[in-house]
A = this chain, B = another copy of it.
Amino acid sequence: MGGIAILKTFYVELPGRRYAIMTGQGLLTKAGSLLSKAGFDSAPIVISNAKVWRLHGPVLERSLKGAFGPVPVILIGDGERFKSHTTLMKLYHRMFRTHADRRSWILAFGGGVVGDIAGFAAATFMRGIPFAMAPTTLLAQVDSSIGGKVAINVKEGKNLIGAFYQPSAVLADIGVLRTLPKRELAAGLYEAVKSAAICSESLLGYMERRLPQILDCRPPEMERVVVETAKIKARVVTADEKETGVRIILNFGHTVGHALESATGYRRFKHGEAVGWGMLAAVEYGRELGLLRADESARLIRLVRSVGRLPSLKGIALDTLWNSLLLDKKFRSGDIRMILLQRLGEAEIRGDIKSESLRKFLKSFLAGNGSPV
């Protein structure tokens, strides 16, 4: 695991409370003392999945045990389809079996799926118990572990049942990212590209220049990406916890992204990949509307395409995609809302999207497998 170093601690500031995002190399080895300092004084119930637990469980467990004593661990299935009601009910029952009560707390140890469902379990178990996150994927470290959006999927769509429920601390050990499969790493990078695209042209430029090193998970480059992206997220959440205003821009790429995931039963795309496609769609559509300069859209398209190979759009029916999109929770009855870029690093919320024009665009986007024909 190499040396231990806390790189950066920064905060999500909310009315009446704040919580720390701690990022660094090898943080898991001192998770117990870091979480003690964050205010926890008893052993958590750890929720994780088998793959993460096999790779990093022993290190975490040793550290937690040193600080808190023996730690109950509940493992759930790996993959978006386990972010379900069935898994949630199993989680509750397992928690009751460990004699969890209102004084218990949860440590979510894994990627976005673990964080979302463990966070929702924390939000609803006995009307809410505290939780902390130790995200182990790039996507979770830069995005899903920060901001308190917790949820499960239902057949009508992704994340449609959930809550705003903030963690008490986030512990992002950048060292664990070296064990991620390439595809998983790329999936997380799309979310980092997204944050840069809406908020930081300079981070975007950095990612363009250092993409090979980042994809190779080299420490200095990866650290910068994680820290800067997580900071963007923390800043936006601080400004708008409940997503009634500016936080909506974080959904750049998610309108079409969510619809793609839903239309393919959450099987074909990893979430970040769907967001990758969604960004391409938003950029191309924005270009149609005359929003983004051609050279800027070309830069973003090139970066997204260089991160990895996005699974094909082949076989996705327009009607299926369209219905999924209309069901998405970001749409008010009647009108369609989409996040588009004005320039790189600057997004705007557009509430005036014409349904017919978007549908027509998507037809062409699907037909050209992401390059509108």
Chain A residues with CB under 8 Å of chain B are 15-16, 85, 89, 92-93, 96, 99, 101-103, 123-128, 149, 151, 154-156, 159-164, 242-243, 327, 329-333
26 A-B residue pairings within 8 Å (CB atoms): A15-B16, A85-B85, A85-B89, A92-B156, A92-B160, A93-B154, A93-B155, A96-B156, A101-B329, A102-B329, A102-B330, A103-B333, A123-B163, A124-B161, A124-B163, A125-B160, A125-B161, A126-B161, A126-B162, A127-B149, A127-B151, A127-B162, A127-B163, A128-B163, A128-B164, A128-B242
Contacts of A128 in B (CB 8 A): 163-164, 242
Indicate if the CB atoms of A99 and B333 lie closer than 8 Å: yes
Indicate if the CB atoms of A124 and B162 lie closer than 8 Å: yes
CB of A130, distance to nearest CB on chain B (Å): 12
Indicate if the CB atoms of A127 and B15 lie closer than 8 Å: no
Indicate if the CB atoms of B329 and A160 lie closer than 8 Å: no
Cα–Cα distance between A149 and B124 once the two chains are bound (Å): 11
Q: Can you name the residue of chain B whose Cβ is closest to the Cβ of A152? A: B124
Partner of A96, one of B16, B89, B99, B327: B327
Which 5 A/B pairs are nearest by Cβ-Cβ distance? A126-B329, A96-B156, A127-B162, A124-B161, A103-B332
Q: Can you name the residue of chain B whose Cβ is closest to the Cβ of A89? A: B85
Indicate if the CB atoms of A92 and B161 lie closer than 8 Å: yes
Given A124-B162, A128-B163, A163-B163, decide whether A154 and B92 contact each other with a Cβ distance below 8 A: yes
Given A16-B15, A92-B154, decide whether A101 and B331 contact each other with a Cβ distance below 8 A: yes
Cα–Cα distance between A333 and B128 once the two chains are bound (Å): 16
Cα–Cα distance between A261 and B195 once the two chains are bound (Å): 51
Indicate if the CB atoms of A127 and B96 lie closer than 8 Å: no
Indicate if the CB atoms of B329 and A156 lie closer than 8 Å: no
Cα–Cα distance between A159 and B89 once the two chains are bound (Å): 14
CB of A92, distance to nearest CB on chain B (Å): 6
CB of A173, distance to nearest CB on chain B (Å): 28
CB of A326, distance to nearest CB on chain B (Å): 9
CB of A155, distance to nearest CB on chain B (Å): 8
Contacts of A99 in B (CB 8 A): 333
Partner of A156, one of B15, B93, B161, B331: B93
A93-B156, A124-B161, A127-B162 known, 7 other contacts, Cβ within 8 Å: A85-B85, A93-B154, A96-B154, A96-B156, A96-B327, A127-B149, A163-B163
Indicate if the CB atoms of B332 and A126 lie closer than 8 Å: no
Cα–Cα distance between A89 and B84 once the two chains are bound (Å): 12
Cα–Cα distance between A65 and B222 once the two chains are bound (Å): 57
Contacts of A327 in B (CB 8 A): 96
Contacts of A160 in B (CB 8 A): 92, 96, 125-126
Cα–Cα distance between A103 and B330 once the two chains are bound (Å): 10
Contacts of A163 in B (CB 8 A): 123-124, 127-128, 163
Contacts of A156 in B (CB 8 A): 92-93, 96
CB of A129, distance to nearest CB on chain B (Å): 10
Cα–Cα distance between A333 and B92 once the two chains are bound (Å): 17
Contacts of A155 in B (CB 8 A): 93
CB of A361, distance to nearest CB on chain B (Å): 23
Cα–Cα distance between A151 and B161 once the two chains are bound (Å): 15
Contacts of A330 in B (CB 8 A): 102
Cα–Cα distance between A329 and B129 once the two chains are bound (Å): 11
Given A85-B89, A96-B156, decide whether A164 and B127 contact each other with a Cβ distance below 8 A: yes
